[in-house]
Structure 1
Amino acid sequence: MTPPNRAALAALVAEATVDCYNDSECVTGFYTMLDEHLEVPFQTSVLGAQVTVSGIDLADEHIVVICARGRSRQRLPLLDLPLPTPPPAGAQWIEAYRHWLR
């Protein structure tokens, strides 16, 4: 999968933030799109360790992913998540969220 270009990212941002009045509502819009479109679980590497991304959540008006390794669970800001190659289905919404925050 090739990363979305600026026009595609702008279209995704517009879709996620339609009818939003403030940043908090925009984050919720992105969370909704990720919840609907991001295919979890998927494997990735965080700080050299293989983890399973098992879900997403909202925490203090930020989107976080839930990473698991064995019995350990850790919430990680979505912005800090390295994507695997190839990325999971729906990863374009992660790129759109990152683009919106810039």
Structure 2
Amino acid sequence: MSRSNRVALDALIAEATVDCYDDSECVTGFHTMIEEHLAVPFRTVVPGVDVTVTGVDLTGDERVVAVCVRGKSTQRISLSDLSLPAPPPEGSQWIDAHRCRAKGT
């Protein structure tokens, strides 16, 4: 990762977590920022299957997940497992920042 990309991601992480006191609040902060900024719907592939990402959700165990739809089926996929299309949707930098923070890098 380039230095300028890292600086940009660090700025997003700081913005999402500015008023957070614990991990739970940080996850909620990222959920809010991704929900507000990610342009949905968009199409992508989840292990060999074409899906449409219609939004993001916060699970009971405090994970931010993508809501993926195919036909009448809906599945929630962890953001760490979600592949983004090329070019990525507007606002996907928030997913990158969330992944970066989750990895602790």
State the partner residue of 1:101: 102
Deviation at residue 19 of structure 1 after TM alignment: 1.1
**For 1:18 and 1:47, how far apart are their aligned partners in 2?**
35
State the partner residue of 1:70: 71
Q: 3-state SS of the aligned residue for 2:7?
A: helix
State the partner residue of 2:54: 54
TM-score normalised by structure 2 residue count: 0.92
Q: How many residue pairs get matched?
A: 99
- 1:42-77 per-position Cα deviation (integer Å, ceiling 9, x unaligned): 000011111000111000110011101111111111
Q: 3-state SS of the aligned residue for 1:21?
A: coil
Letter matched to residue 55 of structure 1? G
TM-score normalised by structure 1 residue count: 0.94
Q: 3-state SS of the aligned residue for 2:67?
A: strand
**For 1:61 and 1:49, how far apart are their aligned partners in 2?**
26
**For 1:46 and 1:61, how far apart are their aligned partners in 2?**
22
